[in-house]
Amino acid sequence: MTTSNDRGQAAIAVVIIAAALFMALSSATLVVGGRMLDRTRAQTAADAAALGALQGGRGAAVALAERHGGELVSFERVPGGHRVRVVVRVGERSATAAATDAP
């Protein structure tokens, strides 16, 4: 037999469990979203750095990577000077890009 003090306790438990699940899913969404954003920003920075390096060399690649919130990890100019390859890191994510000005 239940007393009048026991009524509604299940509803409170359901609300608490639902709130905990919502918080966990929200937290996971923020973590995954942040990683995806870093990956996209790293690729954008790498693309800009590679294109800028064609005309301005390593200095331009560094400047453009930093302007996009990244750090130039590696820079390689293929012999002949018409192709560059860069790796840029933003946060924990890295991206690689290559560019050429050859016809």
Q: Reduced to 3 states, what is the DSSP secondary structure of residue 21?
A: helix
Answer for the pair 53, 87: CB distance below 8 angstroms, yes or no. Answer: no
Task: Give CA–CA dist 49/46, Å, rounded.
Answer: 5
Q: Which CATH architecture has domain 9-100?
A: 2-Layer Sandwich (3.30)
Task: Give CA–CA dist 56/32, Å, rounded.
Answer: 35
Location of structure tokens 């942040």: 34
Cα distances from 23 to residues 20, 27, 92, 103, in angstroms, run: 5, 6, 24, 54
How confident is the prediction along the chain (103 residues), in pLDDT tens digits per residue?
555 566 678 888 888 999 999 999 888 888 888 888 889 999 999 999 999 999 999 999 999 999 999 999 999 998 876 899 999 999 889 999 999 988 7
pTM for the model stands at 0.69
Answer for the pair 64, 48: CB distance below 8 angstroms, yes or no. Answer: yes
